[in-house]
Structure 1
């Protein structure tokens, strides 16, 4: 399976609202954007919006300075003190590396089916669009057991790392032997 495999799923659409000078609700932007290839075969991702602080001041940003232009550092999936809206597409049979982020993640199945795999080996199968997983900073991976591409949307909210027996459990990637993330990895 190649990470360059084209996904049959449609490009993503992002509609952003704002206020005009009279305080009336308006559409500020309405755009589509593609998923991006990752180093992981069969896994594509796209960030849709990032906030950099809580509470966010994005309600008062102009169209030229919105959350679509912000990026994450290295191979982090979360924004310190902020939130991230992202999408993940998985090809049939694709699996992500085991990973953990210091965040609370709200993962919602949009299309297809996905299995959540935890470090203890337990698996939870999401089959119906709208099913969700609230991920509380645990080590996990995602797998597509189906025969068609799957998509999930996720909102990642920065959080204090989980602490177990006095040990802080922050960002972690468990990569298969011989697999390396590109140089920007931390």
Structure 2
């Protein structure tokens, strides 16, 4: 499974800063585990300022919300940024994650860490279902 982690470049534009296959380490017979992402502070680091409109998720820094999102066939969201770190899993279908550095095609099983950067979604021809865990972040300073 592939893990994309977003961030910003030197000009503050949203981009993929890491795209790697997740390695699962065998810990015991029949049991393997991998860690695609972790934070090291509570609350998580402040999000970038963003230039697209903010969608205020209403989640205080350090608190979490888990949700499932269905995107209908060919649907698109406008470019936006959030006040959260979003841990997204594509459960079914296909979708493009649109960042300032272009479109990134995702399919079932792919993982994305959205660090509050400017982004949009464009669902594939059969739509897409995402599982998302949102963690509130502090405002940028």
Do the structures match in fold with TM over 0.5?
yes
Q: After the TM superposition, which parts of structure 1 deviate over 3 Å for at least 4 consecutive aligned residues? A: none
| Aligned counterpart in structure 2 of residue 77 of structure 1, from 57, 65, 71 | 57
CA distance in structure 2 between the aligned counterparts of 1:144 and 1:101, rounded to whole angstroms: 19
Question: Would you say the 8 A contact 1:78–1:157 is kept in 2?
Answer: no
Question: Would you say the 8 A contact 2:75–2:127 is kept in 1?
Answer: no
Q: Map residues 1-186 of structure 1 onto 2, 5 A cutoff.
A: 76-81=56-61, 82-118=63-99, 120-127=100-107, 129-146=108-125, 148-161=126-139, 163=140, 168=141
Shift of 1:77: 2.3
Shift of 1:121: 5.0
Which residue number in structure 1 is paired with residue 26 of structure 2? none
CA distance in structure 2 between the aligned counterparts of 1:151 and 1:77, rounded to whole angstroms: 19
What whole-Å deviation, never above 9, does each CA across 1:49-99 have from its counterpart, x for those lacking one? xxxxx89xxxxxxxxxxxxxxxxxxx6324113111111111111001211
Q: How many residues in Structure 1 have an aligned counterpart in Structure 2? A: 88
Structure 1 unmatched runs, 5+? 1-53, 56-74, 169-186
What whole-Å deviation, never above 9, does each CA across 1:13-63 have from its counterpart, x for those lacking one? xxxxxxxxxxxxxxxxxxxxxxxxxxxxxxxxxxxxxxxxx89xxxxxxxx
Structure 2 unmatched runs, 5+? 1-41, 44-54
